[in-house]
Amino acid sequence: MWDNHQTLHLLGNLLFGVAALAAAYSIGSWVVNSPAIQLKQVSISGTNYSDGELKHVTREQIDKVVRSEITGNFLRIDLDTMRKAFEKLPWVRVASLRRHWPQGLEVTLEEHVAVARWGEEGFVNTHGELFVGAVIGKEEKLPILIGPTGSSFDVAAQYIAFSKLLQPLQQDIAQLTLSPRRAWRIQLESGTVLELGRERMEERLLRYVSTYNRSVAQLNRNLTYVDLRYSNGFSVRTQETQQHEKLMAVLKKAA
């Protein structure tokens, strides 16, 4: 074999390759674990900025994630684990992370944008998704949406549609309810309840809006309830009517 130059050449190349791989592994291991490339900077950016600060995600929450999830140096950081940790924060919808050579980490956070409150449990965002977050500031004044489990997207979509139809009357929705039987009910900020039923809801609401000025507005009374489930009209109940009905019920009970 030692006289076979071709075999010796191949053996030499093989040994050289093994040595090169060993050296590469050793160098790579040193680089990955080297204190010389420790993470030194974490930059946070995202949507919903106000005066350079996120509206709901606090600096304390961000610092807590960074302290608890960053292990190892720049190259050994588990970006997926950190992303999931950020997305567990109450008002974070999506988080994305990327390394910024040589010693930085860029974090981009997308906050939820709440369009309404969902019962007493949380909020509905602009995508019709449910999320839980603290009620602070202007969130207390958001309309309340109520519906069966899994209906948040449909209820949010109908809230937007109904709100547009009510714009000519400058009447805002305080609460929108979808019953387990799929019947819709609107409570306006004025206190008036609009009963829409289970079909042709937008058609019924449009009829109410288009005839409001020449019908309901002429009553010059505070409406408490409007039943729109009629084929060619609607019935109304005023505050005075309701008070009269309560009085008659009391008198009937007393008799």
Helix (H, G, I), strand (E, B) or coil at 133: coil
pLDDT at 97: 82
Distances (CA, A) of 202 to 153, 181, 207: 17, 18, 9
29 is written with which tokens?
Answer: 């291991």
Q: With contact defined as beta carbons under 8 Å apart, do 84 and 111 qualify? A: no
Residue partners of 45: CB distance under 8 A and separation at least 6: 106, 107, 108, 109
| Single-letter code of the amino acid located at 91 | W
pTM of the predicted model as reported, rounded to 2 decimal places: 0.69
Q: With contact defined as beta carbons under 8 Å apart, do 154 and 178 qualify? A: yes
Domain with CATH 3.40.50.11690 in the chain: 114-254
Helix (H, G, I), strand (E, B) or coil at 64: helix
Over its length of 255 residues, how does the chain's per-residue pLDDT go in tens digits?
Answer: 545 555 545 545 554 454 445 444 444 443 444 454 565 677 777 766 444 567 888 888 888 888 877 766 556 677 888 889 889 998 999 998 887 776 678 888 888 888 899 977 789 988 888 898 877 767 778 999 999 988 988 999 999 999 999 999 999 999 999 999 999 999 999 899 999 999 999 999 999 999 888 887 777 667 889 999 988 888 888 766 544 344 333 323 433
DSSP conformation letters of 215-233: TGGGG-S-EEEEE--SSS-
Distance CA 125, CA 202 (A): 22
Domain with CATH 3.10.20.310 in the chain: 36-111
Distance CA 150, CA 36 (A): 51
pLDDT at 2: 46
- The rounded Cα 248 to chain-centroid distance in angstroms is 48
What is 36-111's CATH number, 3.20.20.150, 3.40.1160.10, 3.10.20.310, 3.30.460.10? 3.10.20.310
Q: With contact defined as beta carbons under 8 Å apart, do 69 and 85 qualify? A: yes
Return the ∠ at Cα 182 (arms to 162 and 197), rounded to 5°: 60
Cis peptide bond prior to 102, omega within 30° of 0: yes
109 is written with which tokens?
Answer: 């956070």
Q: Which CATH architecture has domain 114-254?
A: 3-Layer(aba) Sandwich (3.40)
Over residues 181-212, the pLDDT tens digits come to: 999 999 999 899 999 999 999 999 999 999 88
pLDDT at 126: 84
36 is written with which tokens?
Answer: 């010389």
Distance CA 236, CA 227 (A): 6
